[in-house]
A and B are shown apart, each in its own frame.
Chain A
Amino acid sequence: MIEDQKPVAIQIKGIKEGLLVTLGTGRWSELEDSVLKNIEAKQNFFQGARVALDVGDHDLKAADLGALRDKLSERGVTLWAVISTSAITKETSKSYGLVTSIYNPRVEIANEAAVHFDTALTGENAVMVHKTMRSGFKVTYQGHVVVLGDVNPGAEIIATGSVVVWGWLRGVVHAGAEGDEGAVVCALRLEPTQLRIASYIAVTPKHKGKPMPEMAYIKNGQVIAEQMNDKEVGK
């Protein structure tokens, strides 16, 4: 339904600090509407995002900005910066404690595109999560997932590839979610609430002794967890 009507032009780009949403010209109410519709249409993408808003030369009053911030917050989006050429808008943003300039966002994007890695590996996607995954946090990814930090109970990782956790894994993890039985799950401390590889499901047995880095994989139709100091690690 959103595709049918011509939306007011807005652009969304990834920058180092989060997302940059650039608004076109038009009436503020329409622009606001278009931003919110965009977010609702891509709810999963925007969930928990930090957004910087480039409003061009729009003059924003405190009430408008406050209302927008609340509406974004209700949709799980944090507004942290408003960039504008309008002095009024800058003043308003400052009164809300928002950042009013990002260090050259456009240049950064250009650089990102320019960096080109020459690699022989193809078809291997991975995402790196560099923080503790707390309860309620979910990562779904087409490829491998690497977490530098703990995965707490109530957090969830679903990957079509393997999952590596440099920390204490206590949440739910599903590797090989589209049926790859060669996928593995490794953690410095492997104690997931539930561990799934492809269509196999396992729960962590009661732990005894000193925790060791472990790797879980499928062997003869069973999920096996093996300590990483073991000589026969692997497939």
Chain B
Amino acid sequence: MTATIVTITSGKGGVGKTTTTANIAVALASMDQKVVCIDGDIGLRNLDVVMGLENRIVYDLVDAVEGRCRIKQAMIRDKRLPELYLIPAAQTRDKSAISPSDMIRLCDEIRPDFDWILIDSPAGIERGFRNAIAPADSVLVVTNPEVSAVRDADRIIGLIEAEEKGPARLILNRLNMEMVKRGDMLSPDDVLDLLAIKLIGIVPEDENVMVGSNRGTPVVLDNKSKAGRSFINIARRLKGEEVAFDEVNEKQGIFNRLTRIFRAGGE
């Protein structure tokens, strides 16, 4: 086994990186993949909360890097899926506690034992972001259909290209088709026109996502949720499956337009 390392980042805060990471991880693990998530947000950790594992933390990422424990000891096994693990961030330190080289070393050490290593990047473009993308084989950029989030995503994509980690792929999170139809929200077309990268998923706005995060039960585990299905589709596309873009398949017209974009960007 050699893990593929995927970093999830966004530039702007609050667009749903952590929720996305947790959900993709759960989706992959439910497909019998062996997955470990690393919370890169040292000092402001919350991936453990979203995954419902906060009360099991003994050691964290910084402990492992600084040699106070073995990496295996810092891994928390998920309570629902036996093949899903989390390496939590330290809450009492800051981003400078580890360096990009530390992350590369750590990921290389655990790479043989997993299929996927997912890294949840902190917001911003500083040290924490550089730590998170240093070991990445592939990068997913999360954005909302909102001008400021798209602007930050654009910047981040530029930085990812400069670090030679590109091309990044895009997750458009919290899309509300009603608002798009009224012309009150950027459409997937608008966003893709600007960012010009390949789309890997569209996640519709869904109350269940927040409910799941608060309960520590990622929404993917809920079969009825639309957002949950989108995350499963993203996980399948990550694995290399061809999955049609029917996330917002309420009107046939939109569906057609999205397939067209996907083909044009995709090759």
Contacts and interface: CB of A to CB of B under 8 A. Distances in A.
Interface of A: 48, 50, 66-67, 69-70, 73-74, 78, 80, 96, 132, 134-137, 150, 152-154, 168, 170
13 contacts: A66-B101, A67-B101, A69-B101, A70-B101, A73-B134, A73-B163, A74-B127, A134-B155, A135-B155, A136-B158, A150-B194, A153-B151, A153-B194
B194 A152 contact: yes
A152 B101 contact: no
B101 A153 contact: no
A134 B154 contact: yes
Contacts of B99: 66, 70
Given A70-B100, A70-B101, 12 more contacts: A50-B164, A69-B100, A70-B99, A73-B134, A134-B155, A135-B151, A135-B155, A136-B155, A136-B159, A150-B196, A152-B194, A154-B155
B154 A135 contact: yes
B264 interface: no
B162 interface: yes
B157 interface: yes
A154 B196 CA distance: 15
Contacts of A136: 154-155, 158-159
B151 A73 contact: no
Contacts of A150: 194, 196
A67 B154 CA distance: 29
B164 A78 contact: yes
Contacts of B104: 66, 96
B115 interface: no
A74 B155 CA distance: 17
Most buried by A among B104, B105, B194: B194
Contacts of A96: 104
Given A66-B101, A70-B100, A150-B196, A78 B163 contact: yes
Contacts of B151: 135, 153-154
B226 interface: no
A44 B100 CA distance: 23
Nearest to A80: B164
A171 to B, nearest CB: 10
B163 A154 contact: no
B101 A134 contact: no
Contact of A153 (B100, B154, B159): B154
Nearest to B153: A135
A78 B162 contact: yes
A134 B157 contact: yes
B127 to A, nearest CB: 8
